[in-house]
A and B are shown apart, each in its own frame.
Chain A
């Protein structure tokens, strides 16, 4: 079957670092996406991984291990505006559709 797991909620402190994990099981794999969604707004694209390793983009980094079916999103120097839900999605090779996790709500405290 196809399944994506992420923690429901995480709390972190402003200025700190947080790692949001995502594990997946899919029949085929053709890339993993991370999106950010602020409350009441549309999801916006953060990162894409298709090969193993770390992709860094400013304060945000995303890691992928295809053999382990595992990814994480790393947020550094947390700011209050990073309070949002973070959605993990895997693209299925067979039909190129995205399979979405339920999202992780990240709460940043001063």
Chain B
């Protein structure tokens, strides 16, 4: 059974704190993604990675950074948390890109982050 896990389901942080969100997948997937999900908006891609030590910016990378030191782990870092980063954060993984097959994304349970 495929599995994507995230380090916390709920997190409360103060403005200005550095925040680490961890994601681990056990499917040996090449691709990993970080999204945020806000009411009335679609999933918005923050960063993604197609390989170890590789990262690419998504649609809304400002205020975030990522790290992928191992294939199974993809970390999202909020350098200095702000209230507008209060959101649901979803991690996902999928098999390699560049194919016409479905290779759907598998999601973790999400981390609901509140910045006060």
Interface residues of A (CB under 8 A from B): 4, 8, 30-31, 33, 40-45, 48, 50, 87, 89, 96-103
Contacts and interface: CB of A to CB of B under 8 A. Distances in A.
B48 interface: yes
A33 B43 CA distance: 13
Given A96-B97, A97-B58, A87 B104 contact: no
Interface string B73-116: 00000000000000000100000011010101111111000000
Interface residues of B, number: 21
A87 B104 CA distance: 13
Given A42-B107, A45-B106, 16 more contacts: A4-B42, A30-B100, A31-B100, A33-B102, A42-B109, A42-B110, A43-B90, A48-B104, A50-B102, A87-B42, A89-B42, A96-B97, A98-B43, A101-B42, A102-B40, A103-B42
Contact of A31 (B58, B90, B102): B102
Contacts of B58: 97
B24 to A, nearest CB: 14
Describe A's contact surface by its main secondary structure.
loop
Interface in B16-64: 40-45, 48, 58
23 contacts: A31-B102, A40-B110, A41-B109, A41-B110, A42-B4, A42-B90, A42-B108, A42-B110, A43-B90, A43-B107, A45-B105, A50-B100, A50-B102, A97-B48, A97-B58, A98-B45, A99-B42, A100-B42, A100-B43, A100-B44, A101-B42, A102-B40, A103-B42
Nearest to A101: B42
A45 to B, nearest CB: 4
Nearest to B41: A102
A87 B43 contact: yes
